[in-house]
Structure 1
Amino acid sequence: IGAAFWQQISGEHGLDGNGVYNGTSELQLERMSVYFNEGANNKYVPRAVLVDLEPGTMDAVRAGPFGQLFRPDNFVFGQSGAGNNWAKGHYT
């Protein structure tokens, strides 16, 4: 869900998968700081921390079309997942 959200927000603000602005409207740049921080070389980085119990989900986000958008140190994950067991995930 998080990856789809950032893909949608990036598109609305005219950003490509690397966080570079390629838009055509000044409206796209308004309120950019709500969701993004501007980094070096006019690259925008999401203001987000991605968290999950297993690394496989994070690997899928990194391998996706917007995987280069996120800072590597903003991924937080455990070494073993909950195995689709709600109670294990809840009490971990």
Structure 2
Amino acid sequence: MQVNILTKEDLNQFKTELIQEIKQLLSSSDNSVSNKSHWLRSAEVRKLMSISPGTLQNLRINGVLPYRKVGGIMFYAIEDIQKMMEGGKL
């Protein structure tokens, strides 16, 4: 049976390589996310549009801004928000 001894230097090199690979994976996943639909929560939409919770509720009730409710949390597609802001039909 062969025994390999690992040094701190070996572990540091492994850590560096692992971090580089993770960064590459994250950057490639960021690119793929931008091609897909991106969803925002209510607080993010209010901050983005500088509106109150009541105004956002009125946009939902009047059907101006579509949303999805998942487990009590409202989600809004960023594409729908952009269309609404540009004055286009949803």
TM-score between both structures, scaled by the size of structure 2: 0.22
Compare the two structures and name the one with the higher helix fraction.
2
* TM-score, L = length of structure 1: 0.22
Higher-Rg member (1/2)? 2
